Structure 1
């Protein structure tokens, strides 16, 4: 976490007044709404930037209702939608508010006129019958020569077999291979991964069982192992020689296995959890 970038340092102004002392509108702006939702979720600007891949400077600008760094209305609307989902709020009202403040939703790019496509369409040409006839004649001559050559070889082979008194023998059909009717039981991927956890390392498996959640995982040196969105039904396994640090954006949808043991912590939906596990964890599994 960066120094001076905690959620507490970014609380909205009290008494409904902005920094210049003027009263704000009854309905908060797009940027103020995103900022309040981020603070309520316990996330910093760095956390949101890491989760969404939106640069920190752009996140600060949007929260200040400055959409110039976005590069246009289309990109601004995309950033608003991404940031809203990262702080667990519905983006639709924010997009509607942005459209009201900026002259409506941008019009789609018109399709090219049909006559232009017709104008650049390549001109059709008739088939080249002369080339087709030459190719057919060459193919027929080649086929006849090949057939004559193969027939001569077959006659010489048959004469050789009669001279030597050899009689052709019918080949025996290959015996069918016995099929293994015993079905091999399939093991649960999570169980096999947990059973294979080495004793000299810390192994953490994160599974999104009840929804999707942004997660971040680092090793004992602070090196990033994973930083992104884990969709419902997906799992990630992290391993380090001594320690794994986790941040769960929505811990209530996550199931954890540490060193082969299920973690039974009662995580609440929407809660942000910062966790650290070592080779000796959990003490009670």
Structure 2
């Protein structure tokens, strides 16, 4: 069956919500949930929730509409008829949106968990240093050794017959000690990511290993700062309400934004 036939069948299908339509199109193309998950970078649980029209398991209207558009493009379906199936009555109102309990106050993974190895190494060094200090304190004090007197053996100044002193030898000229090098002030880590929110939005950040460093829904005036191992995978639900800085430099989100939703990677 061609893509056009699938598009016509799905467009004309009678489904109260878009989930069943998307599932039917996926099955007609012979795609598994795992293959769709790999292509869209959505979890299998999220895809199943959409196909079952379980919108309460998804993150608000903006996320849901962007999700449907991405799924429709993968299946080569027109997204507008699917979005019209939603209807205002099928979408959770702002008061009904399931908001994370932290409301954006969820900090990145605890410091002690992300730096457990470094903290353990520092503790071992501290114990070793303490042991060396204790051992040194238990040893008998060494007798004071008197240094031999310093004898000035520099040649005396020779005065010629004319009575004028000879010019000083370059080897005996006084040398000045070099000034200590200036200490550079600390700079912000090149891998630091910061987020400032001017309105309600949601955010998810993963590091190079795919581990989630930060996720949640945030409101106006909140700020989050994380440091991890790049490249970072960012997923921002409302681009117009978020300012992103990477290593102290602002990141332009507009080239990555589609329907006010951005999904991209920062190297």
Q: Same fold (TM over 0.5)?
A: no
Shorter-chain TM-score: which interval?
A: 0.3 to 0.5
TM-score by length of 1: 0.37
